[in-house]
């Protein structure tokens, strides 16, 4: 069996405040509309505590998906006791010097990241970043593989292959591309004024190249004003016409966190959730705000249709393939090779 549950997975992903959920958080997690929990650094003390936390979450809601942002570099939620992962740009630097070595390192890093997470019961990391590298970006920059979309795509494909080999589905972010805009959507609303043709020729290339390899995609809280007046995550044009129809993507679409400042311009958190789901998101993230998460849960329950939503058939694909996981990975030659590769990466 690939996952501890065969039940339907709800469309809301939330976070918790501490090392274990409060009684109020437990009640929320047990609700059928809640299908996921994303973990942060504040939820981690050591591996034993993390395993216990994961087990407790599954006891509350057997259908739950458990996620994390474990990219490496600046964005690595679990550090002590885990491999120190490189920023993806370091893989691009190696590729520039030695293409074969760069591709091998990308696969090794994807596998190492994923195997450690699956080992503690995490279903998936929101990775890899498919945004193009641009030093001016305040939020992406070295989180990206490379500035050249073709190089980025080649490295990302191998990184995803490594994740898949460890039993983890990959999630590409931030569609259709957050790397070129300088603004940080966590604290402001970025606007990209380029026309669609320019985006298709550059930022969108990695998403198109990986559309059949990804389990999930996360859109950006960015407005591409020459294309659509809505943020990409609230846009049927971006999610349906481009991602689903033009690129043929049939996996899960996750909203980015609806509490980020860039999303606030759309209205209340309930309105944001509606806009994301109606545009085509299968799961919406409401993080770091327990009251907002409860409001969205109440709103989803109040609007629940009698039929099964399309996301019900897609979301289980994000569950980790635990049966493929090697519990003795740390003694394997592949693990030692991955450690050596990561240690030798250019700084």
CATH code of the domain covering residue 28: 3.20.20.300
pLDDT of residue 265: 66
pLDDT of residue 1: 34
Domain contains 7: no
- Extended strands (E) in 16-86: 34-39, 65-68, 70-72, 75-76
> Which is higher by pLDDT, 311 or 236?
236
In the chain, count H helices and then E strands: 12, 12
Q: Pick the catalytic residue: 148, 186, 241, 289?
A: 186
Phi and psi at 60, nearest 5°, equal: -75, -35
Q: What is the mean pLDDT of residues 90-94?
A: 97
Reported as a single tens digit per residue, the pLDDT across 59-75 is 999 999 999 999 999 99
pLDDT of residue 181: 72
Q: What is the mean pLDDT of residues 335-347?
A: 92
Is the Cβ–Cβ distance between 166 and 325 less than 8 Å? yes
* Active-site residue, 261 included: no
Buried b (16+ CB within 10 A) or exposed e, 125-161: bbbbbbbbbbeebebbbbbbbbbbbebbbbbbbbbbb
Round to whole Å and give the CA distance between 174 and 262.
14
Reported as a single tens digit per residue, the pLDDT across 128-162 is 999 999 988 878 989 999 999 999 999 999 999 99
Domain contains 343: no
pLDDT of residue 31: 95
Token digits of residue 335? 């693990």
Q: Pick the catalytic residue: 123, 131, 203, 256?
A: 256
Domain contains 291: yes
Domain contains 2: no
* pLDDT exceeds 60 at position 38: yes
Q: What is the mean pLDDT of residues 246-270?
A: 86
Domain contains 344: no
Round to whole Å and give the CA distance between 86 and 67.
20
- Burial degree of 41 (CB within 10 A; 0-12, 13-18, 19+): exposed
Q: Which domain holds residue 133?
A: 12-338
- In 61-172, alpha helices (H): 89-97, 99-119, 149-165
Domain contains 3: no
pLDDT of residue 74: 93
Domain contains 169: yes
* pLDDT exceeds 80 at position 267: no
Token digits of residue 56? 């407790």
pLDDT of residue 8: 84
Domain contains 85: yes
Q: What is the mean pLDDT of residues 87-100?
A: 97
* Active-site residue, 256 included: yes
Our count of domains for the chain comes to 1
Please state, for a pLDDT cut of 70, what percent of the chain lies above it.
91
């Amino acid at each position: 069996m690939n996952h501890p549950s065969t039940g339907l997975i709800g469309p809301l992903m939330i976070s918790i405040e501490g090392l274990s959920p409060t009684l109020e958080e437990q009640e929320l997690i047990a609700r059928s509309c809640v299908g996921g929990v994303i973990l942060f650094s504040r939820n981690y003390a050591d591996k034993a505590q993390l395993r216990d936390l994961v087990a407790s979450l599954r006891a509350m809601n057997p259908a739950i998906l458990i996620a994390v942002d474990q990219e490496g570099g600046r964005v690595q939620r679990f550090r002590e006791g885990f491999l120190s992962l490189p920023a993806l740009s370091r893989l691009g630097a190696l590729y520039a010097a030695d293409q074969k070595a760069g591709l091998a390192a990308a696969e090794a890093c994807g596998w190492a990241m994923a195997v450690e997470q699956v080992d503690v019961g995490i279903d998936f990391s929101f990775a890899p970043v498919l945004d193009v590298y641009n030093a001016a970006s305040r939020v992406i920059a070295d989180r990206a593989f490379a500035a050249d979309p073709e190089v980025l795509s080649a490295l990302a494909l191998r990184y995803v292959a490594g994740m898949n080999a460890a039993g983890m589905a990959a999630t590409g972010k931030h569609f259709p591309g957050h790397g070129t805009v300088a603004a940080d959507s966590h604290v402001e609303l970025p606007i990209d004024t380029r026309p669609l043709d320019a985006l298709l020729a550059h930022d969108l290339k990695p998403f198109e190249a990986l559309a059949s390899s990804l389990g999930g995609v996360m859109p950006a809280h960015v407005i591409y004003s020459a294309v659509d007046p809505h943020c990409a995550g609230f846009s049927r044009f971006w999610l349906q016409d481009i991602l689903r129809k033009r690129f043929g993507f049939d996996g899960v679409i996750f909203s980015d966190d609806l509490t980020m400042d860039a999303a606030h311009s759309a209205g209340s958190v309930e309105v944001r959730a509606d806009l994301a789901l109606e545009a085509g998101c299968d799961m919406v993230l409401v993080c770091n705000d327990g009251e907002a998460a409860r409001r969205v849960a109440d709103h989803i329950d109040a609007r629940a249709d009698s039929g099964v939503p399309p996301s019900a058939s897609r979301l289980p694909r994000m569950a980790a393939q635990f049966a493929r996981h090697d519990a003795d990975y740390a003694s394997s030659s592949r693990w030692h090779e991955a450690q050596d590769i990561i240690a030798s990466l250019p700084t």
